[in-house]
Amino acid sequence: MKKVISILFGMAVLLPALACPAAAGVVHPGIRDFGGIHDLPHAAVRPNPGDTYKAIFDVTSRPDKPGAINPGLMHVARAVNVFASANVPLSHLHFVVILHGGAAPAALDNTHYREEFGTDNPNTPLLDRLKQAGVKLYVCGQAMYDLHYQTSWANPDVKVALSALSTLVVYGDKGYAYIRQ
């Protein structure tokens, strides 16, 4: 009888964990290896796969140390993964990133990042994957100059914008949702 009670208790504890989407682990349906999410197929609010979504991510955050990935860029990857998990095609996502302030160094090519911080740019693979997913990547030209970076030092996946201010206004006027990172 004790054995049966132990088995029933074990099942009572384990079955809900197995049924929980979080128990399935982290998935990366849109951006491989970055911005992992927990798939929640029965969530109350989910994007419609037939709709188109436009957002501009205002990324100013900096990592705690130079060898770490920029947390704002990681949130952009999460956003792509959230929409992809709801079966929204990547072609229906019109996401734009503007890096400035403390986030501007993430836009440097590997050579100049290494010269500046003594380590390879950990953001390079993520920038590449974001671009492959159709995310437009910009760095503020004013921030580049303020930090004494030449615009030619930008990662080839990142375009130099006139400024973050003008980029936010231009995309805002086009109806892009504003997301501060």
Which CATH number is 176's domain given?
A: 3.40.1260.10
Residue reference for tokens 């990133």: 97
The whole-number average pLDDT for the span 29-38 is 97
The pTM for the full model equals 0.86
In a domain, 96, yes or no: yes
CB atoms < 10 A from the CB of 22, how many?
Answer: 10
- Using the predicted structure, report yes or no on whether residue 1 has a pLDDT greater than 60: no
In a domain, 176, yes or no: yes
If one counts the domains in the chain, the total is 1
Q: How does residue 82 score in pLDDT terms, banded at 50, 70 and 90?
A: very high
- Using the predicted structure, report yes or no on whether residue 68 has a pLDDT greater than 90: yes
What is the predicted pLDDT for the residue at 66?
86
Query: How far is 55 from 178, CA to CA, in rounded Å?
Result: 6
Give the CA angle between residues 20, 25, 30 to the nearest 5°.
115
In a domain, 2, yes or no: no
- Using the predicted structure, report yes or no on whether residue 22 has a pLDDT greater than 50: no
Q: How does residue 10 score in pLDDT terms, banded at 50, 70 and 90?
A: very low
Query: If you ran DSSP here, which 8-state letter would residue 180 be given?
Result: E
- Using the predicted structure, report yes or no on whether residue 24 has a pLDDT greater than 80: no
Domain that holds residue 62: 26-180
Query: How far is 119 from 67, CA to CA, in rounded Å?
Result: 6
In a domain, 12, yes or no: no
